[in-house]
Chains A and B, each alone.
Chain A
Amino acid sequence: MTSYIPNTEEDQKEMLKEIGVKFIEELFNSIPQNLRLKTDLNLPSSLSEMELVNELKGLSGKNANLDEYVSFLGAGSYDHFIPALVDHLSDRSEFYTSYTPYQAEASQGFLQATYEYQSLICQLFRMDICNASLYEGATALAEAVILAHSVNHGTKVLVAKTLHPEYRQVLTTYIKKTLDLSIIEIDYENGVTDLTKLEEKISKDASCVVIQNPNFFGCLEKVNEIEEITHQVGSLYIVSVDPISLGLLIPPGDYNADIAVGEGQALGCKLNFGGPYLGIFTSKRKFLRKMPGRMVGETTDKKGRRGFVLTLQTREQHIRRERATSNICTNQALNALRAAIYLSTLGEEGLAQVANLCLQKSHYAAKRIYQIPGFEPTFTSPFFKEFAVRCSISPHKINKLLWNNKILGGFDLGRSYPELENSLLFSVTEKRTREEIDKLTLLLGDIA
């Protein structure tokens, strides 16, 4: 018997007796005999805890991890600092071994934490409402486009080419298979969305305009001008943001975004080779009844004590079934909790400081790199924590050399933008020290 199953042979006998059968196999009689497996599955033999730990530790050792490598890689997944509190508190098993709080009274802790998450994100984004989380940034964006379409039934979506390439791919998969919408990509100029091109392509039948800010190149989009162009024709304005940047940069609510989404990984979630992450979803209050996913609301008990419940559940699949606003059920609650702990811990001053550290260090790094002959700015638009560098030698070669020196180099933009085949996108978070940046520039200088 495995250690996860308490039943002893004695227990089993007693239970079978109560049920009135002799063997456990009889309980499976509703499965036609000819469908039941006659032999054991072809799986490896069971491992003891010790053996399992040894084997998996060995496998984890085959990965290069960022405690050993210094990362200048971002592109949608960031090596930000995670205060000890985040692991410590989110690892409380009262939290992580619970499930969706359908029975509010049994789950006040998680409900309140989720309510706080919604509030913290609304404050940071300066948006009206926020849901309890979606899967990750790209699907959150796809849900935003689906929401926009349900509001105005437009026939096309204008998507900035400066939106994360994988987000555009996910959006394409979703749209192609779910809605009758055409996707029109808007080209960029000097690293930001080309306003003239946007004005050319936009028309009244555009459901929404989708941008990312800071965009995939790290550059800051002309968010106010885009707002004007978008709303002039009555389209909805959807923005995907980096929540860390909002410690410093204008939040989407202040430039009148209708829906603002984002990847919340940077808010205290581990890199984890890409998941689980955190899909942030906020909007104007008028879209309340079209929101995808769960939402927590405040209420009271009979004695007037404040408490929290899942509310507006009639939007959701378990009640509205095929007419639900989204099919999402299980979300990323634990990562929303991590984000709430992170934002509470960093607080007003801390997050602003993290953002400023990213800004200052990335600009220091950029300045140093651009001074090296053979490296020049791909774009000159203002940026936040990422910047593109055009290199005179192959990015592949550069990254290989950096890797050999235990540095994780930039994202090769040529992978997703053929026209940028010699550019690397470097990311500098608050974790990078001057020493590390200097080592990077030294190595780049050696190659050049």
Chain B
Amino acid sequence: MYPEDLKYSETHEWVRIDKGFATVGITDFATKKLTDLVYVELPSIGKRVTKGASFGVVESVKAVSDLYSPVSGIVVKVNEKLSKEPEIITQDPYGKGWMIKVKIEDQTELDTLMDSEEYKELVKKEKKE
């Protein structure tokens, strides 16, 4: 449920790192919490995102949730498909449901992210609450 090759943030985003670029999406746990997604708002290519700051929102019928960037950098690719079919995020959160690709500015930011084991613990804790 939480692939081992990914890094995770406390706000339930995942990051796949590939030669200085980070692909970002939200975790399976996050999609379940949000229920039926109806809309995603993502930044445009060329925009700078900052670690910990909102880079977009996902909406269900009665809730809006911010998406927080796990890394800082310039957006180089955006998953345009999601605007028409936001349900892809729920169906395949770690694959076709990716959201943005960012050129990483500061590699050390990655150190603060969790690995899959640590993230699993966090989810367990949140479920209890």
Q: Do chains A and B touch in the complex (CB under 8 A)?
A: yes
* Residue A314, interface by CB 8 Å: yes
A320 within 8 A of B: yes
User: Which residues, 31 to 47 on B, are CB-close (under 8 Å) to A?
Assistant: 39, 41
Complex: A313 Cα to B61 Cα, angstroms: 7
CB of A63, distance to nearest CB on chain B (Å) = 46
Interface membership of A319, Cβ < 8 A? yes
Q: Determine the chain A residues whose CB is within 8 A of the CB of B64 once the complex forms.
A: 314, 319-320, 323
Q: Which residues of B contact A319 (CB under 8 A)?
A: 62-64
Give the shortest distance, in Å, between A150 (CB) and chain B (any CB): 14
Task: Kindly state whether residue B87 has any CB partner on chain A within 8 Å.
Answer: no
A-side contacts of B60, CB under 8 Å: 314
- Point out the residue from A289, A314, A323 that lies within 8 Å of B63, measured CB to CB: A314
Chain A nearest CB, measured from B101 CB (Å): 24
Chain B residues in 8 Å Cβ range of A313: 61-62
List chain A residues, Cβ under 8 A from B61: 313-314
Chain B contact residues (Cβ within 8 angstroms of A): what range? under 10
Cα–Cα, bound, A323→B63 (Å): 12
Q: How far is the CB of B83 from chain A (nearest CB, A)?
A: 11
- The CA-CA distance from A314 to B59 in the complex, in Å, is 7
CA distance A313 to B38 in the complex (A): 12
Interface residues of A in 303-339 (CB under 8 A from B): 313-314, 319-320, 323
Which of B41, B62, B63, B64 is the most central at the interface, judged by chain A CB atoms within 10 Å of its CB? B64
Chain B residue contacts of A289, Cβ below 8 A: 39, 41
Q: How far is the CA of A319 from the CA of B60 in the complex (A)?
A: 11
| Smallest CB separation, B42 vs chain A (Å) | 13
In the assembled complex, the CB of A345 is this many whole angstroms from the nearest CB of chain B, namely: 35
CA distance A289 to B39 in the complex (A): 10
**B59, B62, B63: which has the most chain A beta carbons within 10 Å?**
B59
Q: Which residue of B lies closest to A311 (CB)?
A: B61
How far is B120's CA from A37's CA once the two chains are assembled, in angstroms? 58
B63 to chain A: closest CB distance in Å?
A: 7
Interface residues of A in 405-426 (CB under 8 A from B): none
**Nearest CB in chain B to that of A321: its residue:** B64
Nearest CB to that of B59 among chain A residues? Answer: A314
Using CB atoms, name the residue of chain B closest to A323.
B64
Between A289, A314, A319, A320, the greatest number of chain B beta carbons within 10 A of the residue's beta carbon is seen for: A314
The residues of B that contact A320 with a CB separation of less than 8 Å are 64
Complex Cα distance A282/B61, Å? 23
CA distance A313 to B39 in the complex (A): 12
Complex CA gap A282/B41 in Å reads: 23
Chain B residues in 8 Å Cβ range of A314: 39, 59-64
How distant is the Cα of A320 from the Cα of B64 in the complex, in angstroms? 7
Q: How many angstroms between the C-alpha atoms of A289 and B41 in the bound complex?
A: 10
CB distance from A153 to the nearest CB of B (A): 15
Q: Mark B53-66, 1 if CB is under 8 A from A, else 0.
A: 00000011111100
Per-residue CB contact flags for chain A residues 282-317 toward chain B (1 = under 8 Å, else 0) read 000000010000000000000000000000011000
A320 and B65 alpha carbons, distance in the complex (Å): 10
How many angstroms from the CA of A314 to the CA of B58 in the assembled complex?
A: 10
- In the complex, what distance in Å separates the CA atom of A396 from the CA atom of B63? 57
Q: Which residues of A contact B (CB under 8 A)?
A: 289, 313-314, 319-320, 323
A to B CB contacts below 8 Å, 10 in the list: A313-B61, A314-B39, A314-B60, A314-B61, A314-B62, A314-B63, A319-B63, A319-B64, A320-B64, A323-B64
Given contacts A313-B61, A314-B60, A319-B64, 13 further A-B contacts (CB under 8 A): A289-B39, A289-B41, A313-B62, A314-B39, A314-B59, A314-B61, A314-B62, A314-B63, A314-B64, A319-B62, A319-B63, A320-B64, A323-B64
